């Protein structure tokens, strides 16, 4: 039982990180209709910024906040400088540009911070004796902290989308850009803010993952793939779906590695494929995604 609780919490904690990243993907998809390939890499870059800032003596939480600002600026810049001019001409070419951004950011990290792995201090207490006991299972505080961060981020996003003017504008733009423009919303600004927000969330996810996973240039490659699966599973235009999808994937991973010996961690993607196919063949737009009705 205690082992089960431990795996459950670990699964939820990993799932929270996928959920955060999936949220970022969903925010971008709702505004631009693109899967942001560079999302994970911007997060990795942010995590390296955190590492540099903490080494210079800043407290970890402040470093993460500053790195999130950096992530916001980079991601907003990508929207304004790379994506928008290309999208006007040919939406199909945006995918190539985003792959270009992915590659450039990935290698920029290698250029500035080298290719050696480094550690990153945890923002939550993470010493050997920092655990609480739940139903007899020792649970690390840092793991609970990650789940807490997801809840806080969700709360803030919910407040922003439902209680502020800019959130209202963002929902309007996600719904219909042209009409939003007609009622006086500055669509360009909203898109930049949406992408920036996604960049900041991506950095947060990377900074939470790096202490346990080790900070390398490929930190976010696997998590990005799993987060995309999570976002698609939940429905690419649904924030709720992203969170549910992320948690499903985190739990699947934890229980599969824990209980199904003959599969183990190596067979993660075949299992993901099966889950994805079962869900998508029943609901082609994901669990919570809205069906698009097309006129012929």
Partner 1 sequence: MNLPVRVVKGSWQNWLGRVVLFGGVGLFMFRAMNEWSRSGLGLLTDALIIAIAVTGLNLITGYTGQLSLGHAAFFAIGAFTSAMLVTGKVWSPFFTDNIWTPGWTMPVAAVVCFLVGMVVGIPALRLKGIYLALVTLVFTEAVRALFKYGEFEGVTGGATGIKGFGYLPPSWTGLDGRADLVEWFFWLSLAILVVVSILSAGLLRSRIGRAMVAVRDNETAAAVMGVNLFSIKTLVFGLSGAIAGVAGSLYALKLTLVDADIPIFGLFGSVTLLVALVVGGAAQNWGPFVGAMFYVFVNDFARGVGEAPSDAAILGWFVDSGTKINGLGGVTFGVLLILFARFVPFGAVGTMRMWRSKLVQVVPRVPAVAGVVAGRSSGPLGEEGSGSVDPTPSSIGAVESPGPIDPDRPDSPS
Nearer to partner 1, 100 or 136 (CB): 100
96 interacts with partner 1 by CB under 8 A: yes
> Do 137 and 5 touch, CB atoms closer than 8 A?
yes
- For partner 1, which residue of 236, 243, 244, 247 counts as binding (CB under 8 A)? 236
- For partner 1, which residue of 94, 123, 147, 198 counts as binding (CB under 8 A)? 94
- For partner 1, which residue of 82, 134, 144, 166 counts as binding (CB under 8 A)? 82
131 interacts with partner 1 by CB under 8 A: no
Binding mask 194-233 for partner 1 (x = CB under 8 A): -------------------------------x--xx--x-
CA–CA dist 6, 249 (Å, integer): 16
CA–CA dist 78, 195 (Å, integer): 8
Q: Which residues pair with 139 in a beta bridge?
A: 132
140, containing H or E segment: strand 137-140
280 interacts with partner 1 by CB under 8 A: yes
| Pure H helices in the chain | 2-32, 39-55, 60-77, 84-89, 91-113, 141-163, 165-175, 177-182, 187-213, 221-234, 239-259, 268-282
Helix and strand totals (H; E) in the chain:
12, 2
Among 99-107, 121-129, 162-170, 194-202, which window interacts with partner 1 (CB under 8 A)? 99-107
- For partner 1, which residue of 3, 99, 132, 151 counts as binding (CB under 8 A)? 99
CA–CA dist 18, 20 (Å, integer): 5
132 interacts with partner 1 by CB under 8 A: no
CA–CA dist 242, 229 (Å, integer): 9
Nearer to partner 1, 154 or 229 (CB): 229
Q: How far is CA 11 from the centre of its chain?
A: 16
Nearer to partner 1, 93 or 155 (CB): 93
Nearer to partner 1, 111 or 183 (CB): 111
CA–CA dist 202, 204 (Å, integer): 5
CA–CA dist 2, 5 (Å, integer): 5
Smallest distance, partner 1 to C-beta of residue 134, A: 33
Binding positions for partner 1, rule: CB under 8 A: 29, 35, 82, 85-86, 89-97, 99-111, 114-115, 225, 228-229, 232, 236, 262, 266-270, 272-273, 276-277, 280-281, 284-286, 294, 296
């Amino acid at each position: 039982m205690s082992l089960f609780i431990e795996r459950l919490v670990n699964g939820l904690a990993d799932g929270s990180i996928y959920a955060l990243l999936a949220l970022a993907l969903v925010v971008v998809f709702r505004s631009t209709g693109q899967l942001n390939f560079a999302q994970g890499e911007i997060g990795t870059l942010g995590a390296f910024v955190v590492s540099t800032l903490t080494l210079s003596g800043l407290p970890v939480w402040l470093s993460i906040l500053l790195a999130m600002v950096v992530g916001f600026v980079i991601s907003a810049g990508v929207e304004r400088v790379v994506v928008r001019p290309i999208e006007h001409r040919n939406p199909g070419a945006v995918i190539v540009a985003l792959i270009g951004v992915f590659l450039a950011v990935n290698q920029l990290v290698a250029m500035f911070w080298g290719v050696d792995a480094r550690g990153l201090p945890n923002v939550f207490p993470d010493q050997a004796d920092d655990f609480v006991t739940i139903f007899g299972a020792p649970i690390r505080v840092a793991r609970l902290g990650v789940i807490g961060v997801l809840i806080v981020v969700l709360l803030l996003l919910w407040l922003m989308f439902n209680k502020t003017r800019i959130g209202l504008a963002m929902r309007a733009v996600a719904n219909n850009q042209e009409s939003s423009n007609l009622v006086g919303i500055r669509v360009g600004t909203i898109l930049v803010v949406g992408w920036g927000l996604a960049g900041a969330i991506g950095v947060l996810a990377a900074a939470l993952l790096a202490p346990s996973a080790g900070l390398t240039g490929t930190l976010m490659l696997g998590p990005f793939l799993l987060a995309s699966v999570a976002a698609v599973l939940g429905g690419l235009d649904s924030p709720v779906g992203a969170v549910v999808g992320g948690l499903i994937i985190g739990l699947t991973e934890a229980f599969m590695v824990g209980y199904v010996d003959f599969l183990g961690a190596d067979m993660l993607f075949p299992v993901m494929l099966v889950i994805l196919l079962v869900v998508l063949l029943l609901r082609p737009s994901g669990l919570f995604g809205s069906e698009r009705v097309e006129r012929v």
